[in-house]
Amino acid sequence: MKDFVINENNNKCSWCGKPSKKFILHHVDYDHLCIYTQPIQIPSPTEKRPNRKIKVSDCGTCKLKTPEAFKECSKRVVPVHQYCNKLIDDEMKKRVF
């Protein structure tokens, strides 16, 4: 999912518009439920835990088997720099709903 969304956004942060090699995905909303309930494990090493793995949705299988569901899901995430994600979160906390 991450590579697909980054390519769709021309390798630019959706918040500041600047390019980067390191993005995270920011959820625009959580209205779409993943249809693949069995997560996969992917490497997510840290300095202290180089063998760390995390569980994530199986977006690759979803894209192959249910492209329309994948497309709907990809509309709900945007690539942003980690710092920009913090700015977005701070901005959202200021709003009154």
The single-letter DSSP state of residue 35 is: S
What is the CB neighbour count within 10 angstroms for residue 8? 12
Percent of the chain with pLDDT over 70: 98
**Cβ distance 76 to 29 under 8 Å?**
yes
For the stretch 19-30, pLDDT in tens is 988 899 998 888
State the CB neighbour count (10 A cutoff) for residue 79. 25
pLDDT of residue 96: 65
